[in-house]
Amino acid sequence: MDADLPPELTLLDVEYIAIERDARDLADGLTEARAAWRAHPGSWSVAECIDHLATANWIYLAAFEPSAARARASGRRRRGPARPGLIGGWFVRSLEPPVKMKMKNPKKITPRTSPPFADAMAAFLASQQEVRRFLRTYAGIDLAGVGFPNPFIPGVRFSLATGLHVIAAHDRRHLWQAWNVRRAAEERAA
């Protein structure tokens, strides 16, 4: 955590830390074989859930960076709390577990088939560190007022604040899914 972050960004940073801890707990004692297990054909394994998150996080970050850098270069300073707007807030809430509404996953973030779990986890943890770095680097800009093109929904722009909250909610959603897969694999093995 960074003591210089505004209160709502400190809370968001705490969420990212909790997500990382949850992912590490998920991985604790998980073998490659168990991480690759699927409940049924077409469903995702734990490794695929984590691979999906890593890929999504990196793509979001790549979409954030140009808008954030331009805003900082042009002096677009923070005006208020970095919170999603009305529509962005609805979208963030729709991602939170427990999953009530299934969504079709965009093709560009479809996980690799049976990725090595250690590789997927390393990529995810690196993406989390990069999200936290982005948060600290751009905390002083108008995150709620600066938009970026959504890399998954053509023609839609979100505020950077919305995007940061989307990452957290999306991470929680698929970690919840991964925990369910792990529990099912353990019950099956017992």
pLDDT at res. 142: 97
* Domain 7-189: CATH class, spelled out: mainly alpha
pLDDT tens-digit profile of 93-116?
999 999 877 878 888 898 988 899
Domain locations along the chain: 7-189
Based on the number of CB atoms within 10 Å of its own CB, is 99 exposed (0-12), middle (13-18) or buried (19 or more)? middle
pLDDT at 1: 53
Given this model, what pLDDT does residue 153 score?
A: 87
In terms of Cα–Cα distance, which of 40, 32, 16 is closest to 132? 16
Q: What is the pLDDT of residue 69?
A: 98
Tens of each residue's pLDDT in the chain, 190 residues: 556 899 999 999 999 999 999 999 999 999 999 999 999 998 999 999 999 999 999 999 999 999 999 999 999 999 999 999 999 999 999 999 998 778 788 888 989 888 999 999 999 999 999 999 999 999 999 999 999 999 998 999 999 999 999 999 999 999 999 999 999 999 998 8
**pLDDT number for residue 2:** 56
**Claim: this prediction has a pTM higher than 0.75:** yes
Taking the C-alpha atoms of residue 155 and residue 99, their distance in angstroms, rounded to an integer, is: 26
d(CA 44, CA 37): 8
Q: Which phi and psi (to 5°) does residue 24 adopt? A: -65, -40
Residues in the chain: 190
CA distances from 47 to 16, 41, 80 (A): 20, 15, 38
Inter-residue contact 68 to 141 (CB < 8 Å): yes
Predicted local distance difference test score (pLDDT) of residue 105: 84
Task: Give CB contacts under 8 A, 24+ apart, made by 9-18.
Answer: 9/82, 9/135, 9/139, 9/143, 12/82, 12/135, 12/164, 12/165, 12/168, 13/132, 13/135, 13/136, 15/168, 16/128, 16/131, 16/132, 16/135, 16/168, 17/132
The pLDDT value given to residue 110: 85
